[in-house]
Structure 1
Amino acid sequence: MPVMKCGPLRPIQRVMLIFPPFFDVKHVFDPMVCPPLGIASLAAYIRDRVDVAILDCVAEAPGQREPEGDLYERVGLSWDQILDCIRAFAPDMVGISCLFSNQFACVRVLSEKIKREIDPDMVVVAGGTHPSFLAEQTLLKTAVDYVVLGEGELGLAGILDAHNRGERVEEIDGIAFRGENGAIRVNQRTTWIENLDDLPLPARDLLPMEAYFKAGKPMAYHWRKRRNTPIVSSRGCPFGCPFCSSYLHWGKRFRTRSAENVLAEIAHLKSRYDIQELKWQDDNLTADRKRAMAIFRGMVDRGLTMPWNTPNGIALWTIDDELMGLMKQSGCYQITLAVESGDPDTFAAYVKKPFSLDRAREVARLAKKHGISTVAYFIIGFPGETLEQVQRSMRFGLDLGVDYLVPFVFNPLPGSDLWRTCVESGRITEDYAYEKGNHYHQARLNVAAFDARELELIQRRTYLRNLLRMPLRNPKEFAAWYGRQLFFQPDFLALFAANIMDTGKLLFQKAMGRPAGTSSS
């Protein structure tokens, strides 16, 4: 791999930021197609320094799939199409987002192709959660020149200033790079953006916004209006759940945009893009209850009421009848309860957020009272978790009475405390292959206290049991959501049927006493 060259750094006048394709398991899920606010925020931050363009490889070709071996496929633009786009813009720097681990293979292949087929001196930068926590591995396994760690605006701007103003790369906070002797240097992030109101709005004007509306596959797939977009009003999380890396990526201190700043963005989205629905991507939207009330009340008072949901979760400990009522009034139609585990011992060990299982029950009850649909996220198969604990957790989930119950199979997120535990215990190595596939619906690791292949059966059986109850528990929601899927997604029924048949095969194998295999897709 290249090392940093002696002498002046290459001036950078044009930057292309790329959201790469996904490597995903064949015939399991359609990938989400939603605006990548991370690189849109970076573009807005640096556009006064350089000419900048954004290439969203998934949104530009959401139905384009190319096989990558027997089990996987790459979703989005082809390598040649991406390289043609880079050549057309002729940047001095390419920044590649790696928000999900199943994009890392694209970072590796694309960085090598850029250097080999376009320009060996092209400056290539990677950012996002995966390279942030595996920076050394990223630099060793790819042709990337820099990794920007965590919150990216300051680090990326620092690299541009070093190249264009003669400042020292070695002094930039929150980046990793190869030095002159080839040694990898990691400058851990120590500074964060203190006032989020100082940030410009994400550069949505550089994104193919109409493509997202047409695709109809936003984060978590639920929507009421096709002209929807994600919005983020805060960063950071102080709670430090050991399975999560978000609080390390964005910092442990909860930082917020002011209610006035957020309302101004909503007004801009409505007037500029005719946005008719919001997807709050905050980890803890209502953690500052007073601010949340001001946002929701402002939406009502200023004529900004529109459907919205919280696909990334919500601060359950802040929710009461008054807040839930105002949420409904401002347009909330769905909340996500990130319960994580319904087993008391697992919950106590792994969930550090300040709520209880009883509180989760109360919030689910309040949502039903106000006519707000509910999604509940659970994780099964934590390190050392027993079969009985997993079954107890899923019974709790079913008894919770939510509309959509989503159990994820535990896989260690790079950078999280449990990832480090799995490395230190020998369950995985630091070179564990994250390159391909969405593994949160597949049991690829044996970290629980029983055969991990059972997890897929439990996961699928629980999901189906909750789904079968939904037509009776909430027939309006059932008809509306599945009706939209059938009408707007022609391949939905075939994909759904394939997953049902695969689940039936797994259950049949178990009934016949044969080992339950992983997905045949």
Structure 2
Amino acid sequence: MDRISRRIHSKTSWMHGMASAPRARFDLQVTWVIIFYHVLARRILHGSGTRTPVAARVNLQGRERMRVALVYPDYYQSGCIRGQPQGRVHLGSGYLSACLKRSGHDVAYLHLVEPVTREGFLEWLGNQDVGLVAFSTTSLMFPKVKELARWAKEETGLPVVVGGVHPTLDPSGTLQVPHIDFACLGEGEWTLVELAEALEGRGRVEEIGSLWGRWRGREFSNPVRPLVEDLDTLPFPDRSIYDMSKMAPDQRERITVMASRGCPYHCRYCSNHAQRRAYPNGDRYVRFRSVDNVLAELEGLAEQAEGIDHVRFDDDILTLRPRWFEEFVREYPRRVKLPFICNCRADLLDEDKVAKLKEAGCKTICMGIESGNPWLRRHVLGRRMTDEQILRAFRLCRKYGIGTVSLNMMGFPHEDFSMVLDTVKLNARAEPGITQITVFRPFPGTELYRLCIEEGYYAEEEADTIFTRRSTLRLRSLTDEQMELISEFITPLAYLYNQVFSLPSSLSTVLEKALDAFLSGSKVPYSWKRRLGEEMLRRLPWEWFLSTKY
């Protein structure tokens, strides 16, 4: 029984004991009392036609120290595999926590690596004594964030703010959710700090830069604040919030760090170009921490951590700035002495860079192939690199003994299955250590999102769901079965094509066409195609692909 219902029950019980009142008049009085309490309850908890301002429901002012709940749902790509959690270190949460704590606030962090029940989430939230609930989300995870926000709002009435890529690209859509009070656009460290302070009474919520929302019956949408141009002014991420038992095994063996923010390229499927447009100083979108600042963080972490065997740089392109790169490859092996993994762009790698990366301790480079079809890659995805540039980058890595990971996608507008097979074949020629492929999903604010809507690919009924292995688009030339086949068996199929390409050209051409016809043939039973993938998976010499630990 909720609090108001208990009060009604207590009141009516007492009134039933009034023997002197006439029964009819007494029943009428009880009826009016119940109606009065329920009307009052509805106005307090739900408002009368419009949302009641948060300040009317929760008294946040006068708190000596604001405690903020940071919630990061992570299970659309994580969950558990064979009982092992698969969470990833989210540096964004670490930066938010560090800035809040530097400003005198406290943090409760919830990293959700698998689905949670309403009861479980509210039990955790109820034990934290927080004054603000903050979610960080991508578009893929936003459907779950909406549900969590509703639970939090209905149970506690606390203010709810959502930040991350999704509200940055679609703030209006984010605030259409009635249980979300604020949307934080762009980099959120200082916006969240100012919001916590304003809720304590030390500022005006409706004047905070980069914040959109509803407050005291008034809607507001403030301009995005400038980017933090000097990343060295930010504190190091607060790693005390991470529960490493929730992380994937590889996450427990590495230090994840970012030396930079932003990417200068204009890939049409990526949110970077849309985010860059949001800032008043978007021409400074790409920023690097100083080499000394990065290595100082790593030195401290390497000394404290146990069981750490490598560093993972999560930057979009670590080799982007030549002068920074030269200083980094000179100082890193002297000061850190741990192997590292990084992301690079294939058309930016040359022999000199690869040699220096190897000498500095690079063990693996991750590169996006994305599509093996040159026309699709250039005209649909906006990636202006050739097959030869991609193959040369992978060859150089093999020459210097650096492992490779290729990153691929499928399910694009205008893509058919022959183009998907082009992706398999380019991976077969590149011979990466690990091949990964995902199904494309358009993100709000990107050019491909707009194209999908304009050309009728966008399926509104599927947009609010979480899918990672089948498309949410109305594709005209690809089926779910075809994408499922490649999702599960791209590695063994790439190996099979690799073996075909190693044969004499006359025989190779015939076998390639035969394999194409078998995999794409509409009259070939799907079960036969899966059987081929399963057989190749069993016969696959894993040392050919897993040449390095990723």
Please give the TM-score of this superposition, normalised by the length of structure 1.
Answer: 0.77
Counterpart residue type for residue 328 of structure 1? K
For residue 429 of structure 2, the aligned residue among 399, 406, 415 is: 399
SS in 1 for 2:364: strand
- C-alpha change, 1:463 and 1:100, in structure 2 (3 Å) is farther
For residue 94 of structure 2, the aligned residue among 21, 40, 44 is: 40
Counterpart residue type for residue 194 of structure 1? E
In the TM superposition, what is the alpha-carbon distance from 1:49 to its structure 2 partner? 2.7
For residue 231 of structure 2, the aligned residue among 162, 186, 196 is: 196
Q: What is the alpha-carbon distance in structure 2 between the residues aligned to residue 93 and residue 509 of structure 1?
A: 55
For residue 127 of structure 2, the aligned residue among 75, 88, 104 is: 88
- C-alpha change, 1:21 and 1:254, in structure 2 (3 Å) is closer
Residues 1:266 and 2:298 aligned together: yes
Alpha-carbon contact 1:382-1:448 (below 8 Å) kept: no
- C-alpha change, 1:23 and 1:354, in structure 2 (3 Å) is closer
1:140 aligned partner: 176
For residue 475 of structure 2, the aligned residue among 425, 444, 447 is: 447
In the TM superposition, what is the alpha-carbon distance from 1:285 to its structure 2 partner? 1.3
Alpha-carbon contact 2:407-2:436 (below 8 Å) kept: yes
Could you tell me which runs of 5 or more consecutive residues in structure 1 were left unpaired when the two chains were aligned.
63-74, 219-225, 474-505
SS in 2 for 1:33: coil
In the TM superposition, what is the alpha-carbon distance from 1:36 to its structure 2 partner? 1.5
Counterpart residue type for residue 207 of structure 1? Y
SS in 1 for 2:427: helix
Residue deviations 1:126-179 (CA, integer Å, cap 9, x gap):
112223323223222351211112211132123234333553333322222125
SS in 1 for 2:142: helix
2:159 aligned partner: 123
For residue 113 of structure 1, the aligned residue among 151, 155, 158 is: 151
Residues 1:306 and 2:338 aligned together: yes
In the TM superposition, what is the alpha-carbon distance from 1:197 to its structure 2 partner? 0.6
Residue deviations 1:464-484 (CA, integer Å, cap 9, x gap):
22356899x9xxxxxxxxxxx
In the TM superposition, what is the alpha-carbon distance from 1:264 to its structure 2 partner? 0.7
Alpha-carbon contact 2:69-2:110 (below 8 Å) kept: no
Could you tell me which runs of 5 or more consecutive residues in structure 2 were left unpaired when the two chains were aligned.
1-45, 502-518, 531-550
In the TM superposition, what is the alpha-carbon distance from 1:232 to its structure 2 partner? 0.7
In the TM superposition, what is the alpha-carbon distance from 1:261 to its structure 2 partner? 0.7
2:60 aligned partner: 10
Q: Alignment identity in percent?
A: 25
- C-alpha change, 1:98 and 1:260, in structure 2 (3 Å) is same
1:413 aligned partner: 443
SS in 2 for 1:435: coil
Alpha-carbon contact 2:55-2:216 (below 8 Å) kept: yes
1:97 aligned partner: 136
More helix by share: 2
- C-alpha change, 1:470 and 1:359, in structure 2 (3 Å) is closer
Q: What is the alpha-carbon distance in structure 2 between the residues aligned to residue 25 and residue 337 of structure 1?
A: 21
Residues 1:380 and 2:400 aligned together: no
For residue 346 of structure 2, the aligned residue among 286, 303, 316 is: 316
In the TM superposition, what is the alpha-carbon distance from 1:516 to its structure 2 partner? 10
1:238 aligned partner: 264
Q: 444-453 or 345-354, which moves further after superposition?
A: 444-453
1:150 aligned partner: 186
Q: What is the alpha-carbon distance in structure 2 between the residues aligned to residue 99 and residue 430 of structure 1?
A: 18
Alpha-carbon contact 1:509-1:516 (below 8 Å) kept: no
Q: What is the alpha-carbon distance in structure 2 between the residues aligned to residue 249 and residue 326 of structure 1?
A: 32
Work out which structure has the larger RCO, using CA pairs closer than 8 Å and 6 or more positions apart in sequence. 1
- C-alpha change, 1:35 and 1:514, in structure 2 (3 Å) is closer
2:490 aligned partner: 462
In the TM superposition, what is the alpha-carbon distance from 1:450 to its structure 2 partner? 4.4
SS in 1 for 2:267: coil
Counterpart residue type for residue 442 of structure 1? R
SS in 2 for 1:415: coil
Residue deviations 1:368-427 (CA, integer Å, cap 9, x gap):
011111111122232112333333233222211212222322221233211122123332
Q: 201-210 or 248-257, which moves further after superposition?
A: 248-257
- C-alpha change, 1:450 and 1:21, in structure 2 (3 Å) is closer
In the TM superposition, what is the alpha-carbon distance from 1:31 to its structure 2 partner? 6.5
Q: What is the alpha-carbon distance in structure 1 between the residues aligned to residue 71 and residue 55 of structure 2?
A: 28
1:345 aligned partner: 375
1:366 aligned partner: 396
Q: What is the alpha-carbon distance in structure 1 between the residues aligned to residue 378 and residue 204 of structure 2?
A: 46
Aligned residues: CA RMSD: 3.5
1:169 aligned partner: 205
- C-alpha change, 1:21 and 1:264, in structure 2 (3 Å) is closer
- C-alpha change, 1:209 and 1:405, in structure 2 (3 Å) is closer
In the TM superposition, what is the alpha-carbon distance from 1:442 to its structure 2 partner? 1.7
Q: What is the alpha-carbon distance in structure 2 between the residues aligned to residue 383 and residue 232 of structure 1?
A: 32
In the TM superposition, what is the alpha-carbon distance from 1:234 to its structure 2 partner? 0.7
Q: What is the alpha-carbon distance in structure 1 between the residues aligned to residue 523 and residue 489 of structure 2?
A: 12
Q: How many residues align?
A: 452
Alpha-carbon contact 1:16-1:55 (below 8 Å) kept: yes
In the TM superposition, what is the alpha-carbon distance from 1:366 to its structure 2 partner? 0.7
SS in 2 for 1:116: helix
In the TM superposition, what is the alpha-carbon distance from 1:247 to its structure 2 partner? 3.8
Alpha-carbon contact 2:78-2:85 (below 8 Å) kept: no
Residue deviations 1:190-238 (CA, integer Å, cap 9, x gap):
51111001000000022224653xx4043xxxxxxx4312111111122
- C-alpha change, 1:330 and 1:433, in structure 2 (3 Å) is same
Q: What is the alpha-carbon distance in structure 2 between the residues aligned to residue 513 and residue 23 of structure 1?
A: 27
1:227 aligned partner: 253
In the TM superposition, what is the alpha-carbon distance from 1:9 to its structure 2 partner? 8.2
Q: What is the alpha-carbon distance in structure 2 between the residues aligned to residue 509 and residue 56 of structure 1?
A: 47
Please give the TM-score of this superposition, normalised by the length of structure 2.
Answer: 0.73
Alpha-carbon contact 2:213-2:221 (below 8 Å) kept: yes
Q: What is the alpha-carbon distance in structure 2 between the residues aligned to residue 107 and residue 511 of structure 1?
A: 42
Describe how 1:422-501 pairs up with structure 2 within 5 A: 422-428=452-458, 432-437=462-467, 439=468, 441-451=469-479, 453-466=481-494
Describe how 1:204-219 pairs up with structure 2 within 5 A: 204-209=239-244, 211-212=246-247, 215-218=248-251
Work out which of the two has the higher radius of gyration on C-alpha atoms and give 1 or 2: 2
Q: 85-94 or 195-204, which moves further after superposition?
A: 85-94
Residue deviations 1:480-501 (CA, integer Å, cap 9, x gap):
xxxxxxxxxxxxxxxxxxxxxx
